[in-house]
Amino acid sequence: MLTRLREGTPDAAREGRAESAAAAPDAVGAPVHVRDVGHSFGELRAIERIDLEIEPGEVVGIVGPSGCGKTTLLELVAGLRSSDSGTVSVGGKKAEDERLARCAYMPQRDLLLPWLSALDNAALALRIAGVPRHEARARAGEHFARLGLEGFENTRPDELSGGMRQRVAFLRTLMAGRPVLLLDEPFASLDAITRAEMQSWLARVLDPDRHTVLLVTHDVEEALYLSDRVLVLSSRPARVADRIEIGATRAPDRAAAVTASEFTALKERALRSLAEGAR
């Protein structure tokens, strides 16, 4: 496990962790191994030989140009697709249904069901698992206050703001109780200010002791801020153009974190790798 404490912010970081430890349903991070994986759609080569080892509880960001196969990589890990070559394992299991059972995939758009309240949307995974409605609601409802959703339990999605919808979608993903979270550009649809708020929020909520997280984004800053490690992918067919280790904690003060000199140095490196990989 990486040391995740940055000078001047240990208290805040601990607070964030305590808060999310209570927020996360029972799940223990599982390792994710991607070995020599390639994938094609017909003639189109989407992914070319990617290797990726993620330790339990690690947050790995994946950035790359649009259409480079980032989403395909997530779907492969999630068990929603099988790869043409190479192996993917989650928690040591390679079979698709075993991966499906260990991962919770959060697509780019919130995709909340418009006929369900925020609470019922958040409880969806529990209902699918056969938990009775009353109990599912109670269990999902426990987390509403922590996610800043208190009082909106019975609100329909079309009456929630974009940031709130995204938080409900995140809680829905969390409530699946899976050790691995696969987040596909979770904040891409939000405006810049809300996105920054949501990133600080996620930094507080992500629980390194519990969830292994794979975060796909096209926003280098978001990836560097939220991850322990960032993979820069090249344009299609996707290869790993760079691997960047971030040896610092996710500071709750996002504005300070993303303007720190070491952060900007990493950002420059990531942007250069991205530009080279796009060639």
Q: Nearest distance from residue 244's CB to other proteins, in Å?
A: 28
Is 143 in contact with 118 (CB distance < 8 Å)? no
SS3 106: strand
Report how far residue 125's alpha carbon sits from residue 152's, in angstroms, rounded to the nearest whole number.
19
Q: Nearest distance from residue 263's CB to other proteins, in Å?
A: 32
Is 147 in contact with 23 (CB distance < 8 Å)? yes
Q: Nearest distance from residue 124's CB to other proteins, in Å?
A: 6
Closer residue to other proteins in complex, CB, 129/145: 129
Closer residue to other proteins in complex, CB, 115/261: 115
Closer residue to other proteins in complex, CB, 96/242: 96
With the C-alpha atoms ordered 235, 237, 239, 245, is the resulting torsion angle positive or negative?
positive
Closer residue to other proteins in complex, CB, 77/257: 77
Computed on alpha carbons and rounded to an integer, the radius of gyration of the chain in Å comes to 18
Instruction: Specify the amino acid at residue 207.
Output: D
Instruction: Specify the amino acid at residue 60.
Output: V
Contacts (Cβ under 8 Å, ≥6 apart) of 244: 224, 229, 230, 231, 232, 266, 269, 270, 273
Closer residue to other proteins in complex, CB, 13/215: 215
Q: How far is CA 22 from the centre of its chain?
A: 18
Report how far residue 88's alpha carbon sits from residue 274's, in angstroms, rounded to the nearest whole number.
25
Q: Nearest distance from residue 12's CB to other proteins, in Å?
A: 32
Closer residue to other proteins in complex, CB, 46/251: 46
Contacts (Cβ under 8 Å, ≥6 apart) of 8: none
Q: Which residues bind other proteins (CB under 8 A)?
A: 75, 78-80, 100-101, 103-109, 111, 113-115, 124-125, 127-129, 156, 158, 172-173, 176, 182
Q: Write out the two tokens for 103.
A: 């991962």
Closer residue to other proteins in complex, CB, 4/81: 81
Q: Nearest distance from residue 53's CB to other proteins, in Å?
A: 22
Q: Nearest distance from residue 118's CB to other proteins, in Å?
A: 13
Q: Nearest distance from residue 180's CB to other proteins, in Å?
A: 10
